[in-house]
Structure 1
């Protein structure tokens, strides 16, 4: 369940209470008259079944409470209550299948912002990938995959496309279009410094190596990207974040970016192009799969609600 708190202007309190009383997925309703200071008004709290949250939020926003008051949500880890059990049973669908769109928009919106932290993590990930390439270390590449923060903007792109939010698409695209070139340039500088110091030469990526899969783009690259994108979005929409680690270490976005920097400095232009293709296939495959998952879940929710109301 999710804990809902509403800061509500006094003139809208009764209508907000009616919304929460009327929905079978809401319970543990509490009113604190006059408790809100800024913005001034009443405070309403309730526990809402996850599968009912989207409908409840839509009804509260229709009252203008997101503009003239405030609405917050928090995850409840444990709820020992027969009333809560009844609310979850009465709510449409299953909690694991429910998409709380406002929660998803807030989460992906935050993770898609271009800031120093995002660029730093992506740069460090690509530097690790460059080291993994020149040392032929698959373990180092896996570490780079885990560090890479690129799934946040990719998920935001999918959400923005499905919800037709141009601002979210623009913000996520900017993060990727700025972050990856900066990270690739950093990998190239590291490779150049290593080359100048005599630590490596073109033979470092010539011949057969364990990490050659990074630039070997093919049908399976797209298959893996699609599966990873689907798993990642399912994880985000069902609040099962543990699965995201598996997503991070199954796609070769960061390793491909790091390989571009290394191969460019060493003059291996065929591998630069192959790595760029690998990067593009993974990025596109993840976004498409994530968007399809969202559309599927959106349609499933639309079919469930009329049946429940009826």
Structure 2
């Protein structure tokens, strides 16, 4: 429920009162003595979805748009007409004036915006290097990039070009500033002893999560944009915090910056693609939802112009997303193919050992080094096989090549196979039920031998 307070200009008191009576609204009127061109102040409760239409009726009754008007949230309203008002205005959407005010708050002053942006980037970059999910979540909460995305959409819908332009500008400059901050921080840390020399950030799980953007990232961003727009439309500001955590704009920007600092253009590009996709999808979904919800410009005469501007902006964003979807599609397909290849490799080698059924010989592990990048640049997958073998059994010298031939024939792709042997003992009381479930014990003084199908490694 909202409590609306409006100043009544001289000579319009009767028409204002008549309008409120027609609307079935309880009101209270107080004499106004502070400003000479107003004769009274009226205040009345109304559901959030009714504020906009009631104010339009009052404007027609003589209330000037630039007059003193306050809309306040209320805890409790007791009124005989309250039930009828709720039935008349059943929606939960706030008025466009409230939406405009909330959008202004979401794009704070430049000093505040960039202070929070730089701090959140530092926190996110540190969390990435520490592989700390909790630290990264903290950066998501502090990050201010979600606000300008919403305010840019509101500015477009309400035909406030300054708000829309500032929202877009803050997003672009903020993204570049976040990447630059992470790059500088990453470079500085490499000059200290705070991180190990020769650190490969691609092996950090939190970084790896943000260097393989796929179509699921697009769905996440679209959903987050819709949730953010709904939270603003319905006055649920606390929901926006959860949305900011879900879409996670700053961590991928920090990942991109660290990629530049560590000389890894692939990491930098992947992180940048992810954050740009997120921002574009948020803008697109928020624009569409605000339009569908029926928000119109503050000046009704500009409605047709807003429609033209909206179509132009939606088209531009959709084209940008479509271009980036080429990258998302390539990553999605290549990720599926590499993971499928890894699983098929494990199944084939398990079957080989089951069919061989050599007493005392167990398959300890199979690992496949095959990433989407390897697939895209046509690099051969590397398969590492670890085999447990008794001391008195001679290891086949050509086992790696035999595995290589089998995998190449069944999977239709060249592969490099490396086989390692460990001396293993298996107790008589229990027979391993699955080769991969076995945990062979390495005897003291045991040795490891390596056989490989790669020509440079074969002996």
TM value normalised by structure 1: 0.87
Are 1:198 and 2:197 counterparts? no
Are 1:66 and 2:65 counterparts? yes
Q: Aligned with 2:144: secondary structure?
A: coil
- Please name the residue that 1:257 is paired with: 253
Are 1:104 and 2:89 counterparts? no
Q: Number of paired residues?
A: 293
RMSD over aligned CA atoms reads 2.1
Query: What pairs up with 1:4-23 in 2 under 5 angstroms?
Result: 4-23=4-23
CA distance in 1, matches of 2:17, 2:198: 70
Are 1:92 and 2:89 counterparts? yes
Structure richer in helix, relative to its length: 1
- Please name the residue that 1:175 is paired with: 170
Kept in 2, the 8 Å contact 1:137–1:211? The answer is no
1:40 CA displacement: 4.8
- The equivalent position to 1:164 in structure 2, one of 151, 159, 177, is 159
- Please name the residue that 1:304 is paired with: none
User: 1:235-281: per-residue Cα shift (whole Å, max 9, x none)?
Assistant: 11112233222211111311111112222111111111111100110
CA distance in 1, matches of 2:205, 2:90: 49
Structure 1: runs of 5 or more not aligned? 300-310
Query: What pairs up with 1:261-276 in 2 under 5 angstroms?
Result: 261-276=257-272
Kept in 2, the 8 Å contact 1:214–1:252? The answer is no
Are 1:236 and 2:232 counterparts? yes
1 or 2 for the larger relative contact order (CA 8 Å, sep ≥6)?
A: 1
Kept in 2, the 8 Å contact 1:35–1:43? The answer is no
- The equivalent position to 1:119 in structure 2, one of 114, 122, 125, is 114
TM value normalised by structure 2: 0.60
1:120 CA displacement: 1.0
Larger Rg: 2
265-274 or 169-178, which moves further after superposition? 169-178
1:103 CA displacement: 0.4
Kept in 1, the 8 Å contact 2:94–2:235? The answer is no
Kept in 1, the 8 Å contact 2:207–2:255? The answer is no
User: 1:110-150: per-residue Cα shift (whole Å, max 9, x none)?
Assistant: 32244211111111111111011111112211111111122
Structure 2: runs of 5 or more not aligned? 296-459
User: 1:181-237: per-residue Cα shift (whole Å, max 9, x none)?
Assistant: 233332223222211113225524132524422232110110000011111111111
